[in-house]
Amino acid sequence: MGTGKRGLISAAVTVVCAATVLVAAPGMAFAAPTPTPTPSASASSTPVTNAELEVIREKIDRLYHEAVAATDAYNAAEEKAKQQSAEIVDLANKIVQGQARLDDLKKRAGAAARAQYRSGGLPDEAQLMLSDDPQEFLDGAGRVLQGERATKALIQEMTRTQQDLKQYAKDASAQWKKLEANRKAKATAQKKIKKQIAAAEKLESELEKDEKKRLAELERQAAYEAQTAWLDTGILDDVQGKATAAGKKAVAYATAQIGKPYEWGAEGPKTYDCSGLTSQAWLAAGDVIPRTSQEQWKQLKSVDVKDMLPGDLIIYFDDASHVAMYIGDGAIVHAPRPGRTVTIAGAGSMPILGVVRPGA
């Protein structure tokens, strides 16, 4: 191995944190992986040991995990920006309608003022004494009183309309500020996503072809061991429930996407990220659920693992940064991470935070 690669691995050893497994086996994640091949030396480079490759695997997993977490932040900012844009449009429509109403009220108020001016402004007693027909005057006075009440109500409505317009303008200004903040949040998340993915890809690119094969085997080994340990707890012994009609539709949609590439921020139909897949699957089943894994975790009903049904969503990692759909028999379908495709894996191949159920 050249000094550059050896230095890179040494750096990875120094900075690596606790391992996180964000990988999926290319198929059902229950078959034991083949034995990890031993490193082979070449005349021109120093072989990378399995221990060193394990450090690299952990480093790559951490980078991709951070990219996926940033993707959730990006998706959340995107959803908020959409909502704020819609609210701004709604407020703009209210302002236009309110201004038209105010213009109409002003015209009516002006007409009332002109009519009062034409009456001469004499006191009612004087107009009664000068009238040739007192009854006609009294009838007219009643109409004037009604007119005065209507004018008062008109002025009150004008005042309310002006106050509404001021509030609409204030609300629109606040939404613009929030929209700008979320645009910045999106840009920050996007920058972090690209940075973490680029770092992971660079680390992988430093490996030789044989080393990449061994690295992939280590990933499968880690996923298999995690799944086996999860199953060995007996956690699925009492899981016997069958999918609901909606759950079956969601599973059918999600599994039909197997083989399609992961792309951060994507909701299909050609590419998906993890929560893009689950949200679209449940949309196909007739249920609108939150767009991000963190909001799915917060807003959907939590269920015990023993009550888990196909179609339920399993949330992973302490930060709820990944989500997959349970399809039964201890398996999930999910969009793992950049560079991978939608696939089936073991439900216990990653650290489980909890299970939630759409449509509950």
Catalytic residue among 200, 274, 309, 325: 274
Q: Which of 334, 335, 338, 357 is labelled catalytic?
A: 334
Is 65 among the residues known to form the active site? no
Based on the residue annotation, tell me whether 322 is a catalytic residue of this protein.
Answer: yes
CA distance linking residue 313 with residue 325, whole number of Å: 5
Residue 337 sits at the vertex; the CA angle it makes with 15 and 8, to the nearest 5 degrees, is: 30
Q: Furthest-apart CA pair in the chain: how many Å?
A: 127
Q: Encode the chain in three state secondary structure.
A: CCHHHHHHHHHHHHHCCCCCCCCCCCCCCCCCCCCCCCCCCCCCCCCCCHHHHHHHHHHHHHHHHHHHHHHHHHHHHHHHHHHHHHHHHHHHHHHHHHHHHHHHHHHHHHHHHHHHHHCCCCCHHHHHHHCCCHHHHHHHHHHHHHHHHHHHHHHHHHHHHHHHHHHHHHHHHHHHHHHHHHHHHHHHHHHHHHHHHHHHHHHHHCCCHHHHHHHHHHHHHHHHHHHHHHHHCCCCCCCCCCCCHHHHHHHHHHHHCCCCEECCCCECCCCECHHHHHHHHHHHCCCCCCCCHHHHHHHCEEECHHHCCCCCEEEECCCCCEEEEEEECCEEEECCCCCCECEEEECCCCCEEEEEECCC
* Cα 167 from Cα 165, distance rounded (Å): 5
Given the residues 5, 65, 322, 337, the one annotated as active site: 322
For residue 17, indicate whether it is catalytic.
no
Active site residues: 274, 322, 334
